[in-house]
Chains A and B, each alone.
Chain A
């Protein structure tokens, strides 16, 4: 007889207390073992004891633990990181620079990237993946042109198209015509003659002509804005094909056919927060931090990353850890002054007439009081 049935009512109550994974493991173990009720209860009791012991106590200074747990390994990162330089097709921010970028919540990462995962149909073979990559990568008129001439006599720009490029990029002359027709207007006529496109202008200013030429060459014929380069890669573990893009435009790429929108993501925190929401940004921050550390062979517990991510996304927006974010928006004027730009913070607080309530750690250290951490958190109410 399995031990499970004996202790069912007890287990039912544990379901509320234990995390799902632990609960399932316990049930699985109990159902496999042969034991009487007393033994089973003992097992449950031990499990519960260990679980509660592993929980973090109220008042534990987890912020400091996280800071040290991430800070110490990253001191080793600087020395190691340059061994990896030049190994990839992509220049991408790695190691410490990337980590600083994340916690500073920069508006644009130094190298915006997207990891584009593909659906069932397209992730199986290189050819299918390339197909999607072509849809994503933006192609300008410049890449399709074999030669570009400016005719100063008739005030026109003559672009000779490269049929090879057209075939390779899967662009039909019809599509090209349709896109270029939209450029027309404001004294600009477009004419097609086989492989030659002629733009006629009504201006006779050579400087302006050249300016218009440059603009015309940058016209996007197909693909998605901001995606400059695509590389098709195969996951070594799963054998799945996916695409990495240089330049990021998450909103557009999620709507492309063949893309798996549930897994595709960008490394731009603000973009992810905008398109997918703050919760997705939280996950991204934690995952990216973890990835940076893992790449350097540093083992830091995931829960530290989550704490950082939680602090950064607490207000529903992505905030940096620093003067303009988490540390700079603290309630206490003394805590803010203790961090950076002391005088300015104090003057600002004074002009606004802020008051100090001594609830945080920094201000209490400054005042020489007990800090509200651990046993310092408890107060005594005395009956007089």
Chain B
């Protein structure tokens, strides 16, 4: 009987992997010690990147020298123990100050969140603050309301005339969602019921993605890269799919016709597989959008961080040299991000429409 792997090859492979692991672990050891050095004044790339993609209670615009220019956002907390609602500006909590018994925890389990200064936990606080992501969502909601109410009015005023201005910019997109996404997926009789939801989702995702690429206020907030936001959108799709599901749809999940009985009766294998499928579809929708947008932001920020890393390691001249390459790559990646913004919105809307269509299918 031939041996598949020679014994010596196996031994060498295992020892090779073991040695590589130990080499990497010594780097991890050094990293622990160097982290302290970085906090003292070096440049910490990981910290900068996560600062830009995570949520925060103030909107940081720029840092001139040692002076931070940022917009403090309102903090709204409801204290479950004392039963009081506190609303104040987050400038009171800047730099770790304690205000009315609350502070922003600088490290530990609750890093970045508002905790009670005495206890150090945030279990008793319901945090309803307007954070960076919430403010960006409100801003794009106001932008969308303005855009669509104004074109609705101009359609009413200019009935039967050619579209003009903002109408002619948005009309191809709206007709694209109707003719190429909703009608083929849902069918030409029922699609009108779902058009408001599909149009809202499509434009919400596109506008937030495009605003996320603009680096300065009011853009530059990572809305769709926040799993909470994409979770809500996927949950809405799931709720609508389940509520328009016909009897045939649920029959196909619980009691699929044409499948032998022993896959359903003592242990309901097929129903479990189908039920898992019902839940995985919205979860995959959520993760696809979240990971695409977050990865795009992290890569662009990483290229920008390279400039500062090189400047710290090899001096300012290396920083300038690398900045040419870095900026070129970042511009290219930003153009790619614009394409990804549209593609991700299209895929989310198309898949939602497909799920609605499949749920409403009548038995032939």
- A and B: partners? no
Q: Interface of A with B (CB < 8 Å)?
A: none
Q: Interface of B with A (CB < 8 Å)?
A: none
